[in-house]
Amino acid sequence: MPKDSNSDTPILDETLARLDIPDDARKMLHAPQRRTEVALRIRHDDGTMGIYPAWRVQYSDVLGPTKGGIRFHPGVNLDEVTELARWMTVKCALMDLPFGGAKGGVQVDPKKLSRQELERLSRAFVDGFGDMLGPNRDIPAPDVNTNPRIMGWMADEYAIITRAHQPAAITGKPLPLGGSEGRVASTGQGALLVLQEWARRQDRDPGDITVAVQGFGNAGAHFAVQAHKAGFKVVAVSDSRGALYSEDGLDPEPLHREKEQGKGLDDVYSDTSVGDNEDYTSIDLDALLGLEVDVLALAALQDAVTEDNVSDINAGCILEIANGPVSPDADQALADRDVTVLPDVLANAGGVTVSYYEWIQGRNGERWSEEDVEERMKDRFERIAPQVFDRAEEDGTSLRQAAYAIAVERIAEAISIRGDSCYFKG
Ligand SMILES: NC(=O)C1=CN([C@@H]2O[C@H](COP(=O)(O)OP(=O)(O)OC[C@H]3O[C@@H](n4cnc5c(N)ncnc54)[C@H](O)[C@@H]3O)[C@@H](O)[C@H]2O)C=CC1
Ligand SMILES: O=C(O)CCC(=O)C(=O)O
């Protein structure tokens, strides 16, 4: 877990130094613009009061209104949210989206709350941070343990407190409340587009590429299903409770359906696990990380691979679907062993990209078809991903360094053009 938001930034420091970025931009990129904490109070079903610490960090609005998901997790804290908000800033800049970066977190184990308590908590988040939010200010979305249903409650609460229907205020909503086609699968879809670009440049056929997926949740399961459909050989998947392996490759679709079955109309989370299926060999969670595969897709949480277990990794390529799944030390160790890392700020940017499309639809009262969303997303990834690969080749750097270089240059240019308007005005 990130420890200190201002010192744990080796990749940012390295990029700023290597590119000789002007001092204003250097300072602004190290200083989160606004970090707000609110104690969310809700009434539990048994009449007791629950108080849950919550944060929203708006890291930088240089490129536009701030954008980023909200995480419900017992371990989340201000430093983690700050780090995640910084990564959103880099991600939105890299993807050429008109957004700055933000992130939110509530310290809670949501699976211990009833559906009604969860709804109260989701609405309390919007009540607590309402003054900072808005379609032109800061636009939340889902992250770990939050989903379309929760975004629906939040969007509804925002409409209540502002007395205006504002579908562009929150993205990742259910379709009937102004959500976008394609948003649920978008993070996995974007990761697949990045993997396909890597495979194309390696001149390798997907059928010859084995993939293991850690984290069979929203992002990871959609990635696994789509990667299988695109011809990649998915040999293993895991969630927090179990891991499944099949040397000949497995079909993630029935597993995904099985997981989703636990999600009845009134339930918010699935109760089933990939480990419940008996058709495949069950392996340890850690064993999945050490499999001899071509691609290890990390789609759970940050710091899945650290200096403690990096020597166990036997994959030739790591696809970072989660945010920060490889620690900086491990990143260096992997580079030393010529393991390619497809970095998070590119590989998981499909979610925020389709959130951007949802935001446009919400502002304009439009509804785009699934094909339209997919086409636009494909165009954007086919523009940005090659820029990252080419830049890495030109500069002789890692793909992460190349992605940061492109993003930081965009932000620095905007800071320099804005001049004194970058000074804080409240
Ligand atoms: N949902 C989205 O649109 C986006 C998500 N991300 C990132 O992707 C990652 C996953 O997010 P979601 O899929 O939304 O969350 P999720 O909560 O739907 O899925 C996370 C999955 O990881 C599993 N998991 C947790 N610890 C594990 C472990 N030690 N081993 C194996 N599996 C484990 C959980 O059981 C769950 O299935 C996070 O880092 C998130 O920030 C990034 C961009 C967008
Ligand atoms: O969809 C969004 O706006 C943000 C998604 C997110 O939190 C992320 O990319 O980490």
Tens-of-pLDDT digits for all 426 residues of the chain? 343 334 457 899 899 989 989 888 999 999 999 999 999 999 999 999 999 999 999 999 999 999 999 999 999 999 999 999 999 999 999 999 999 999 999 999 999 999 999 999 999 999 999 999 999 999 999 999 999 999 999 999 999 999 999 999 999 999 999 999 999 999 999 999 999 999 999 999 999 999 999 999 889 999 999 999 999 999 999 998 889 999 999 999 988 888 777 543 234 455 556 655 556 788 999 999 999 999 999 999 999 999 999 999 999 999 999 999 999 999 999 999 999 999 999 999 999 999 999 999 999 999 999 999 999 999 999 999 999 999 999 999 999 999 999 999 999 999 988 877 666 554
Q: Which residue's C-alpha comes closest to atom 1 of ligand 2?
A: 352
The two structure tokens encoding residue 227: 């990667």
Instruction: Give the DSSP letter string of 9-26.
Output: -HHHHHHHHHHT--HHHH
Please report the pLDDT score of residue 418 as a whole number. Answer: 83
Q: Are 288 and 212 in contact, with CB atoms under 8 Å apart?
A: yes
Ligand nearest to the CA of 187: 1
- The conformation of residue 134, written as its DSSP 8-state character, comes to B
Question: Cα–Cα distance between 216 and 289 in angstroms, integer?
Answer: 14
Q: Which residue is closest in CA terms to ligand 2's atom 2?
A: 352
Residue 187 counted as an annotated binding residue: yes
Q: For residue 104, which of 63, 64, 62, 73 has the smallest C-alpha distance?
A: 73
Note the ligand closest to the C-alpha atom of 186.
1
pLDDT at 266: 35
Q: Residues 171-191, buried b or exposed e (16+ Cβ, 10 A)?
A: bbbbeebbbbbbbbbbbbbbb
The response to whether residue 143 sits with its C-beta less than 6 Å from ligand 2 reads yes
Residue 218 annotated in ligand binding: yes
In short, whether 80's Cβ falls inside 6 Å of ligand 2 is no
Residue nearest to atom 4 of ligand 2 (CA): 68
Start-end of H helices in 163-230 = 183-202, 218-229
140 C-beta closer than 6 A to ligand 1:
no
pTM above 0.90, yes or no: yes
| CATH class of this structure's domain 184-347 | alpha beta
The CB density around residue 203, as the number of other CB atoms within 10 Å, is: 6
The pLDDT, as a whole number, for residue 1 is: 38
Q: Which residue of 86, 97, 144 sits with most ligand 1 atoms within 8 Å of its CB, as the best mutation to test the pocket?
A: 144
Domain 33-179 has CATH 3.40.630.10: no
Given the CA of residue 354, which atom of ligand 2 is nearest to it? 1
Question: Longest C-alpha distance within the chain, in Å?
Answer: 63
Q: Which residue is closest in CA terms to ligand 1's atom 27? A: 240
* CATH 3.40.50.720 domain extents, the chain: 184-347
Cβ–Cβ under 8 Å, residues 147 and 268: yes
* Ranges of CATH 3.40.50.10860 domains, the chain: 33-179
Q: Which residues form the catalytic set? A: 103
Per-residue tokens: 152 = 């629906």
